[in-house]
Structure 1
Amino acid sequence: MERLLQNVLARVVQRGALKVTSASGRRYVVGEAAAGPPQVAVRFTSPAAERGILLDPELRLGEAYMDGTLVVEEGSLADLLDLLMSQPEAVNPTLPSRLLYRLRVALRRIAQFNPRGRSQRNVAHHYDIDGRLYSLFLDADRQYSCAYFETPEQRLDDAQLAKKRHIAAKLVMDRPGLRVLDIGSGWGGLGLYLAEMTGARVTGVTLSREQLEMARNRARERGLADRVEFRMQDYRDIPETFDRVVSVGMFEHVGVDHFATFFHKAKALLKPDGVMLLHAIGRSDPPGVTNPFIAKYIFPGGYIPALSEVLPYVERAGLVVTDIELLRLHYAETLKAWRERFRARWEEAVRLTDERFCRMWEFYLAASEMAFRHQGLNVFQIQLARRQETVPLTRGYIAEAEAALRRREAEACPPLRLAGE
């Protein structure tokens, strides 16, 4: 079994080098001889971990790291995943893993079947955990989606603010008092921003009790409870219509079986001159399946679609695509910042959960980052309308709106001054 794993790793690692210590204590190096000394070294502590990775690497690699049966001795977990996931033939290198992939493709609609009750359970699995965990690695506003880095060196908090500003600009918030629906409102940051900076009246819906409580508290603390309402409600059950609809980081939980429902409901929620912005993770590759580790431990019922899967449902719903932007590596940089922040506060995270949970979470953040860097994941922002003339003719309005929002932000939060200035 050790020899077989060595042969498989030798086929996978074609760039760079990896040093391995087997469960029996045997040591070997796979990869390019000219790559220099390996920067990453791992050790297996059980033969079962080696067998598992041979049979189902997409699931068992993460589980072995969680359980401590795969130990990274040199470099970091992120270095290991960067090495493995950047290889040209890194996916399904063995016959059993290829067969498992085909089985998952065949069963993907069952895995993504998300009626109301199951949707709420899936959301609770990820979001209704100790809220202090998220405060360890997110920005101050708890934005748990892709930031928008205007410059490579921009701080995470500023990039998340830029994301909200960018979304607000694309929503064409051209007058105060617009009614806005935020589907998947999280901890309320985007809805509060839209109310404060544009004068909108916002309704946010979520399926997470933890997020709902915090969002309502934040609205009260900021004196916005009369203009911002947060509800525990499935988007399919919303009866009203709105001038603007926004959804950030929620569409990944919908599932292929429910795409038609989502976009038909989106059209019904929009007034005739309404605008919608959908911000979601997508894939550059053809349709596939959810990574089994992510599906089992992180986002049950979730799926990252190809753009080719999404647009036919938009067309059938009778919505007009007025703009599409791909953010590409912005989420890789966001996840890197989250991973580094989480690692920096590891001891606090362990006290809130335990070592195994923290290793699971680190694997989730690092693997997701490398998927955006090397395996075709990106973020798309799709602007939709019921009528094509609703949105300005050229994209210049986006930069103009962002500039106006920056001025309002500066007025709302004047810079700190030293005493006597």
Structure 2
Amino acid sequence: MLLVRLLAAAMGDGTLDLVTVDGKRHRIGSGLPKLTLRLHDRAVERELLTNPRLRFGEAYMDGRLTVEGGTIYDLLSMLMSGSDVQGVLGRAAETLSPLLRRAQQYNPMRRSRRNAEHHYNLSRRFYELFLDRDMQYSCAYFPEPGMSLDDAQEAKKRHIAAKLLLVPGMRVLDIGCGWGGMALYLARRSGARVTGITLSSEQLEVAKRRAEEAGLADRVTFELRDYRDFAAAHPAAFDRVVSVGMFEHVGVPHYRGYFDAVRDMLKDDGVALIHAIGRMDGPGFTNPWMRKYIFPGGYSPALSEVLPVIERSGLLTTDLEVLRLHYAETLRHWRSRFDARRAEAKALYDERFCRMWEFYLAGAELAFRLQGHMVFQVQVARSLGAVPLTRDYMVNAERHLAEASAGIDASTGTIPKLRSAHSAESAT
């Protein structure tokens, strides 16, 4: 049976019993764990042969493929750790993806807004089921083992803020501001004036309301804008630009335009920090199921696709950090929290939607654990003197932020001992 051979090639450790619609049981592998994959109609077998990367997830969503003796995470872990994850026919079906990538990632402004609405205009109540209290929908930062999700997301914001060299009064732009948590954090902790832009009307409404409730509406504003038309209207307007979890939606054909926009919006001594998902194994393509159901137009790039564009834009790469398993841990928390409140998610949507999110969270976590995905933070500047000569300022600022988090001056939001780039450099 061809499907058995293809699954055997994809298998890592463990035993999988494949049960076809006629009740026949085919054993694949040996050892633990032991799972059963049951196919509920004859068409599934054919679909898994021709396009497994897309059809496997669809069959699971529709209940035409079920897992016994474990979860979809357990099954995907078994199938994503073998030597041939896709199978011969599956790989052949995707060899055209690099040729079609420019079309798949062509994201002009209208399509970008439609793509954002597809994912981010889901009910806030849904995201509250599994995100942290600040609604951070991006990779958390785990400098210590055993951290809670809330603490790790707070650590992520500190880590990014430390790299921005913020001082009171600076103007900061947050591209892809989500529900406003990062923008509010930067304003509250540094005294900066922050503008956040998003393509999601749902996120915009929530972010504006949060700024009002926090008493920060005079220092934090949010707009429904695309970074491209926003850049044209704001030349050299910002001391700092930050973007967290948005670059994955830009698309390779638009990288030059993106970094040109960042460059144009920065002042001469400006600094930007881009936090994004990437891949360690070189340029690739987006999983077709993920592209269709979760992030249309999305792509996680290799650094070899990003750094040359930064160079051509005239920006200087002043710091680069790779976070390896931090997103895997973040997704583990999200998956656990989603599972604990699955009934509430089903009440908001339906069973198929819940199965889609189970598949998404499980597959995404395993991509970071087993398939070379990572997160990178690249700091860029317009001039050589914009950033201190050593990285000590990051460590110092992060420590001051942690110390100040419980004793911040509520009236000014300033951080004790946090210095500007130039004063920090003169001290080195």
| TM-score under structure 2 length normalisation | 0.93
Residue number in structure 2 paired with 1:220: 212
Higher mean alpha-carbon deviation, 156-165 vs 19-28, is at 19-28
2:397 maps to 1:397:
no
- C-alpha contact 1:55 1:94 (8 A) present in aligned 2: no
Match of residue 373, structure 2, among 367, 377, 381: 377
Partner of 1:27: 25
Residue-pair matches, total: 406
Q: How many angstroms does 1:12 deviate by?
A: 2.0
Report 1:327-366 matches (<5 A): 327-366=323-362
Q: Which of 173, 176, 185 is the equivalent residue of 2:168? A: 176
- Per the alignment, residue 114 of structure 1 pairs with 107
Q: Does 1:125 align with 2:121?
A: no
1:275 and 2:271 aligned: yes
The alignment partner of 2:406 has SS state of helix
Unpaired segments ≥5 residues, structure 2: 411-428
Instruction: Determine the structure 2 residue equivalent to 1:191.
Output: 183
1:303 maps to amino acid: Y
Contact 2:12 2:81 in 1 (8 A): no
Partner of 1:259: 255
Q: Distance in 2 between matches of 1:94 and 1:48?
A: 19
Between the aligned residues of both structures, percent identity stands at 58
Q: How many angstroms apart in 1 are the aligned matches of 2:164 and 2:308?
A: 22
Q: 2:193 aligns with which of 193, 201, 222?
A: 201
Conserved 8 A contact 2:12-2:79: no
SS in 1 for 2:407: helix
Structure 1 position 371, deviation (Å): 0.4
Q: Is the 8 A contact 1:114 1:254 kept in 2?
A: yes
1:203 aligned counterpart, secondary structure = strand
Counterpart of 1:6 in structure 2 is 4
- Pick which of 373-382 and 404-413 moved more: 404-413
Comparing 218-227 and 38-47, the one that deviates more: 38-47
Dislocated runs of 4+, deviation >6 Å: none
Equivalence for 1:94: 88
Query: Aligned equivalents of 1:305 and 1:390: distance in 2?
Result: 27
Confirm or deny that 1:80 pairs with 2:72: no
Using the alignment, how far apart are the partners of 1:43 and 1:218 within structure 2?
46
Q: CA deviation at 1:307?
A: 0.5
2:183 is paired with a residue whose SS is helix
| 2:39 is equivalent to residue 44 of structure 1 | yes
Amino acid aligned to 1:166: H
SS at match of 1:107: helix
Q: Select between 348-357 and 6-15 the one with higher mean Cα deviation.
A: 6-15
The SS at the match of 1:325 is: strand
Tell me if the contact between 1:185 and 1:191 (Cα under 8 Å) persists in the aligned partners: yes
**Residue 367 in structure 1 maps to residue 373 in structure 2:** no
The answer on whether the counterparts of 2:280 and 2:302 sit within 8 Å (CA) in structure 1 is yes
User: Are 1:20 and 1:29, in contact at CA under 8 Å, matched by a contact in 2?
Assistant: yes
Q: CA deviation at 1:40?
A: 2.2
Are the aligned partners of 1:42 and 1:74 in contact in 2 as well (CA < 8 Å)?
A: no
CA distance in 2, matches of 1:129, 1:14: 35
Shift of residue 98 of structure 1?
2.2
Q: In structure 1, give the amino acid aligned to 2:75.
A: L
The letter of the residue matching 2:148 is: R
Note the residue ranges of structure 1 that are not aligned, 5 or more in a row: 415-421
Cα deviation for residue 14 of structure 1 reads 4.5
Deviations 1:319-350 (A, max 9, x none): 00011000110000101110111011011000
Tell me the SS of whatever aligns to 1:6: helix
| 1:96-138 alpha-carbon deviations (Å, 9 max, x no partner) | x222211222111101111110100000000112221100000
Report the Cα distance in structure 1 between the residues aligned to 2:389 and 2:316, rounded to whole angstroms. Answer: 14
Report the TM-score, using the length of structure 1 for normalisation.
0.94
Deviation readout 1:154-208 (Å, 9 max, x if unpaired): 00000000000000000111x2111000000000000000000000000000000
